[in-house]
Structure 1
Amino acid sequence: MSQLTARQLDILSLIHHWMRTEGRPPTRSEIAAAFGFKSPNSAEQHLKALERKGALTLSPGRSRGIQLDEQALLSLQMESPPPVSPLNLPVIGRVAAGMPILAQEHIDMFYQVDPHLFRPAANYLLRVQGQSMRDAGILSHDLLAVHQTHRVNQGQIVVVRIEEEVTVKRFHGINDNHLHLSPDNPEFDPMVLDLSRQQVVIEGVVVGVIRNYTETS
């Protein structure tokens, strides 16, 4: 394996971290978001450079088709502690209908965080509007760390896209094709969504909160 640059080592460390914590490698979009690249194509170019140096193998046509070379994997496992670069998580503001939540148009800025701060790993930060989750310690203007997944458990706080809106609520399951959500504030009503009539997507689960006290005071 050829000698790697510091950035290439950081990318390998990120891939290794994902494989240990998520059981799968990141996509090009997730790598781009972590390092603040302008597009997934930039991540692809870095991956191809790593492949040319023998550090990994790419599987064409597969978004997560990344396999670390045994020598690269061994060197990463032997590092104690491994070098850790801060993640550049995208901060999501308003979300347009019909577009992926991590579309470039939705990203207001990037925010650097320690990659070990949230478990499971956060994929993006969502800016909170409103007080419906006040009693869960989530206030307006907070940044919610969100782990992107469609699989959530009873009682978890989730990010849900409903038609053209994105809301944060507590998940209470799906019964008779109806999704049940509740606020953590008695001033707001629970939500029951008819999945046969409304376009509803669970975008992720909340894994942490970042607060700027100058905005909430």
Structure 2
Amino acid sequence: MLTRKQHELVCFINDRLAETGVSPSFEEMKDALDLKSKSGVHRLISALEERQFIRRLPNRARALEVLRMPERSGSVMTRAATMPSARDDREVSTRSTPPAPANDVIEIPLHGRIAAGVPIEAFEGSAMLAVPAALLGAGEHYALEVAGDSMVDAGILDGDFALVRRTDVARDGEIVVALIEDSEATLKYFRREGAMVRLDPANRAYDPQRYAPAQVRIQGKLSGILRRYD
């Protein structure tokens, strides 16, 4: 069951793809749905992803695919045709009230520094990091400050903030946060090599690291990088 805004958004995306072959931008979706900010679009897209109406295509900007369309009837929250009860009336009034302006910035936990070279102690301290909502996809996220240069060929530099989606599984070739022997974390490409797990750097000056599967736990997959310029 979709809300009215979710229904409007998936229809708008589908129509734009049919017309131009290109997904609409967050700004275009915000204007089309008369939303106050792009973070509202972000939340709608995440909800549609979770309900498997759309999916984001990896490694492509502004790339959305419509997996299925909602039914014309019965799939959108509408006001009851009959006289609502006192409780229903309160719910209708809440839904019909225009939403308060949302903030385009989301705060996620910042768990300290993570090695992009030799592993260092995992998750030092805890703070919060303000991140543009458009950089985050569906799911729960946290941030780690990158220490080292072993991922420079992947565009990940010392001092960057790695934005990580929590998960405990990964596919070959994905950049992950790997917790080694429950004490040290590192940011590397994840690969399986026979009965071993191989963590690959993106810098020829560093060698791959090989571990038994029991020594490695996936703590998340890289969603994006945030870089500050002084």
Decide whether aligned partners of structure 1 residues 160 and 22 sit closer, same or farther in structure 2, where only a CA change above 3 A counts: farther
The DSSP-based 3-state class of the residue aligned with 2:157 is coil
The aligned amino acid for 1:210 is L
Contact 1:157 1:168 (8 Å CA) reproduced: yes
CA distance in 1, matches of 2:51, 2:221: 18
Output aligned runs, 1:9-28, within 5 Å. Answer: 19-22=47-50
The aligned amino acid for 1:106 is G
CA distance in 2, matches of 1:83, 1:117: 19
CA distance in 2, matches of 1:115, 1:129: 24
Write out per-residue CA displacement over residues 120-147 of structure 1, whole angstroms, 9 at most, x where no aligned residue.
Answer: 4561111111111010010111100001
**Larger Rg computed on CA atoms:** 2
Alignment partner of 2:168 out of 146, 150, 154: 150
CA distance in 2, matches of 1:125, 1:173: 25
Unaligned runs of 5+ in 1: 1-12, 25-53, 56-70
Alignment partner of 1:130 out of 137, 148, 161: 148
Output aligned runs, 1:1-217, within 5 Å. Answer: 19-22=47-50, 75=95, 83-85=101-103, 86-94=105-113, 106-107=125-126, 109-121=127-139, 123-163=141-181, 164-173=183-192, 175-176=194-195, 178-196=196-214, 198=215, 200-214=216-230
Contact 2:145 2:162 (8 Å CA) reproduced: yes
Tell me the equivalent position of 1:61. Answer: none
Contact 1:120 1:207 (8 Å CA) reproduced: no
Unaligned runs of 5+ in 2: 1-39, 53-86, 115-121
Q: How many residues align?
A: 144
Q: What's the C-alpha RMSD, in Å, of the aligned pairs? A: 3.6
Moved over 4 A (4+): 13-19
